[in-house]
Structure 1
Amino acid sequence: MTALRPIDLATWPRREHFEHYRDRVPCTWEMTVELDVTDFAETVRRTDRRTYASQLWAIASVVNRHAEFRMQLLEDGSPAVWDVVHPMFTVFHPDTETFSVLFVPYDDDPARFHEAAVTTMERYRDDHRMFPQVDRPENVFDVSTLPGASFTGFALHVKDGFDHLLPIFTIGRYRYVEGRTVMPIAVQVNHAAVDGFHGSRLFTELQTTFAEAGWLRG
């Protein structure tokens, strides 16, 4: 069973930083990068994998490597870390120009995750409720897309967002630069949980995951 484990503040190296950005200077920050996804895009075309489901696995696999992206506040406001977090993502309904929000349990096997994600998307394809799944867990992080637009900057403003520690991702449309395929992706994080170092490492590992997409053939 997945657990939410309290952080031992007495031994946590980031205690001072957490308390500063939680109590004295509450703030969130956002970062947008363009990842080179040339190998990923070409590999998807040569396999039966779907782009969105595969993007979700790539993001979730990196998120789950690091405790700072699996954090949540307990009722008393103290920090804790989930053993695992699952992607909760948007799917668009062209006929109504609305979207639904779905989740799929994270699986470190990309093939099993892909099958589960595709099955879930197909199951709820014609269900126009915003939240059609009734069994959504607490340990989810958000992913959404702007498939009709590429961007170099993106900002999201969440009311009472200073209590939200899990990351929020937004993916944009591919564009082509000097023969390479690039994908804009933005992340919003809470500074109480995530510093610039952690954000930079996240995107470095995401770049490696998309640039070395042999896992799609497994």
Structure 2
Amino acid sequence: MNYKVVDMEKYYRKGVYRHFTEDCKCSVSITNKVDVTELVEFSKKTNTKFYVNFLYVLSKVLNSREDYRMQYLYEKQQLVIFDKVNPVHYVFHEDTETCTVVYTEFQEDYQKFYQQCVLDIEKAKQTREYGLDSVNHPNYFDASYISWLSYESLHIELPDGYLHFMPIVNWGRYQEENGRYVMPVSVRMNHAAADGYLVAKVFRLLEEEIKKGL
């Protein structure tokens, strides 16, 4: 886990950062439908898990830009940019109706990521403990699949988390519309680090990566 400290005097969002960490502490979130047709077809053709494939694409997108790799280190009072961010996702246990945290390290190599992610998920299925460990995993972004429905909107409220900079991403079930498969995706980011353009760009990058293929 490597990172660089942001030089606030040279930070291109200096004024925006000050405003949204001092005057107006808030976040920004957008829910939008993403065309995942090619990824669904790839998953069926290769007999691979769509969930893991989307998690790979999402991780690749969030690693593509420094704005998506930022975090505030409370203990050091520093805004930093990680060299790499990884997904923390979840396994749902039907018997207890609870979740277990799954930590998976992002790897650019799709095959390596896929294999490791499947192993991480299987390991998490063996426990019923929640297992959140943000102290030892500060460079992990939250990725959560809401498998029970295809929703229209979602809002993440962090009343005391105005210095939480890592993206929080949720997505629901995909469904067919006009011959294409679309899926609701929600992206929440700290307004000090991102505005509507940067959040919207996540959706654009997701569709670009999906169309490029794995």
| Same fold, judged at TM 0.5 (above) | yes
SS at match of 1:59: helix
CA distance in 1, matches of 2:61, 2:179: 27
Measured against aligned partners, the alpha-carbon deviations of 1:162-194 in whole angstroms (never above 9, x if no partner) come to 010000000101111111100111011100111
What RMSD in Å do the two structures reach over aligned CA positions? 1.7
CA distance in 2, matches of 1:83, 1:11: 19
How is 1:97-112 mapped onto 2 (pairs within 5 angstroms)? 97-112=97-112
SS at match of 1:163: coil
CA distance in 2, matches of 1:8, 1:189: 20
In structure 2, do the counterparts of structure 1 residues 33 and 119 end up closer, same or farther at CA, with 3 Å as the change threshold?
A: same
CA distance in 1, matches of 2:7, 2:135: 30
How is 1:1-218 mapped onto 2 (pairs within 5 angstroms)? 2-74=1-73, 75=75, 77-131=77-131, 136-213=136-213, 215=214
In structure 2, do the counterparts of structure 1 residues 133 and 52 end up closer, same or farther at CA, with 3 Å as the change threshold?
A: farther
**1:133: Cα distance to partner?**
7.5
**Runs of 4+ deviating beyond 6 Å:** 132-135
Mark the runs of 5 or more structure 2 residues left unpaired by the alignment: none
CA distance in 1, matches of 2:10, 2:175: 45
CA distance in 1, matches of 2:181, 2:105: 29
**1:89: Cα distance to partner?**
0.3
Q: Is the 8 A contact 1:103 1:136 kept in 2?
A: no
In structure 2, do the counterparts of structure 1 residues 18 and 133 end up closer, same or farther at CA, with 3 Å as the change threshold?
A: closer
Measured against aligned partners, the alpha-carbon deviations of 1:40-74 in whole angstroms (never above 9, x if no partner) come to 10110010321111111110000001111111113
Aligned amino acid, residue 141 of structure 1? F
- Percent sequence identity is 29
**1:118: Cα distance to partner?**
0.2
Q: Is the 8 A contact 2:98 2:128 kept in 1?
A: yes
TM (norm. structure 2) is 0.94
Q: Is the 8 A contact 2:39 2:53 kept in 1?
A: no
CA distance in 1, matches of 2:137, 2:76: 20
Tell me the number of residue pairs that the alignment of Structure 1 and Structure 2 aligns.
213
CA distance in 2, matches of 1:198, 1:132: 28
CA distance in 2, matches of 1:34, 1:17: 28
SS at match of 2:113: helix
SS at match of 2:130: coil
Q: Is the 8 A contact 2:91 2:124 kept in 1?
A: no
**1:78: Cα distance to partner?**
3.7
Q: Is the 8 A contact 1:150 1:172 kept in 2?
A: yes
SS at match of 1:23: helix
**1:134: Cα distance to partner?**
10
Measured against aligned partners, the alpha-carbon deviations of 1:93-137 in whole angstroms (never above 9, x if no partner) come to 112111111110110111110000001111221211111789952
